[in-house]
Structure 1
Amino acid sequence: MIIRNLEQLVGTERDVAWGNGQSRRFLTESDGMGYTLTDTIIDAGSESLLQYKNHKETCYCIQGVGEIEDMDGTIHPITVGIMYALDQNDKHYLRATTKMRLVCVFSPPLKGNESHKLTSDGESSY
C-alpha cells in the first residue's frame, strides 16, 4: 500500500516546476501502478501551448477558473467540477484566469522529473 500526503511532497523531487506552475507527483513510474497521479497548480494569468506526445492525460479541476482551447479554435471553459481528457494526444492551449488546481492522471506513467520546456511564446517542447 502506498500512502502519501501532499505536505510531504512539497519541496521534494516530486514537486516539479513544469513551466507555468507546479506538479506534485503522488505516483510515478517507480511506484509500479501503471499511471501517474498529480496535484497540479497552474499560475494565474498564464497561457501554455501543450501537447503530450507520449502520454494521455485526464484532468479534474478542484480550484480556479480557466479554459482549454483546441487547435480548431473551440474554447472549453474549465471551472471547479469539470474534467477533461486528452485522449488523442491533443495539442491545446491551457489558460488560467485565476490560480487553478487540477488533479491529473497520466498514462503511461511519468518517470517523475519531466517538465515542460516552454518557449518564449508559451509553446511546450515536452
Structure 2
Amino acid sequence: MIIRTLNEIINTERDIEWGNGQSRRFLLARDGMKFSLTDTLIEANTESLLEYRNHMEACYCVEGEGEVEVDGKIYPIQPGTMYALDKNDKHYLRAKTTLRLICVFTPSLQGHESHQLSNSKSSCY
C-alpha cells in the first residue's frame, strides 16, 4: 500500500514548479501504478499553452475558476468539472482565480518532467 500526504510532498523532488504553478506528484512511474496522480495549482490570472505529446491527462477541478480552450472552443472550469485530453490536445489553460486540479496521467510521469513555458507559453511533455 502507498500512502502519502500533501505535506510530505511539498518542497521535495515531487513538488515541481512549472512556470504558472506547482505540480505535486503523489504517484510516479517508480511507484509501479502505471499512472500518475498529481495535485496541481495554477496561479490566478495566468494563461498556459500546453500539449502533452507522450501522456493522456484527465483533470478534476476541486478549487477555483478558469477555462480550457481546445481548437477555439472554450470550456469553463469550476469545482466539480472534469476535462480529459483524450487526443493529446494542444490547449490553453486559463486561471481566473487560483485553480486546484487533481490530475491523472498515463503513462506514468517519471518525476522530472516539467512544463517549459517560453515566450510563446508553449509546453510539452
Quote the residue 2:111 is aligned against: 112
Q: Secondary structure at the match of 2:68?
A: strand
Match of 1:57 in 2: 57
Supply the distance in 2 between the matched residues of 1:19 and 1:58 (Cα, whole angstroms): 20
Deviation at 1:121, TM superposition (A): 2.5
Q: Which amino acid aligns with 2:96?
A: T
Partner of 1:40: 40
Partner residue, 2:3: 3
- In 2, Cα distance between the equivalents of 1:19 and 1:83? 23
Equivalent position amino acid for 2:79 in 1:
V
Structure having the higher strand fraction is 2
Q: Percent identity?
A: 61
CA distance in 2, matches of 1:27, 1:52: 18
Check conservation: 2:53, 2:124, Cα contact below 8 A: no
What are structure 2's unaligned runs of at least 5 residues?
none
Structure 1 position 19, deviation (Å)? 1.8
CA distance in 2, matches of 1:86, 1:63: 20
Is there any run of 5+ residues in structure 1 with no aligned partner, and where?
none
Q: Distance in 2 between matches of 1:118 and 1:24?
A: 18
Closer, same or farther: CA 37–125 of 1 in aligned 2, 3 Å: closer
Asked if the contact 1:119–1:125 (Cα under 8 Å) also holds between the matched residues in 2, the reply is no
What is the CA distance between 1:125 and its match in structure 2?
4.1
Q: Deviations over 1:8-45 (max 9, x none)?
A: 00000000011210000000000000000000000101
Task: Tell me the matched-pair count.
Answer: 125
Note the aligned Cα RMSD (angstroms).
0.7
Aligned equivalent of 1:82 = 81
Q: Is the 8 A contact 2:23 2:40 kept in 1?
A: yes
Post-superposition, which runs of at least 4 consecutive aligned residues in structure 1 deviate over 2 A?
Answer: none
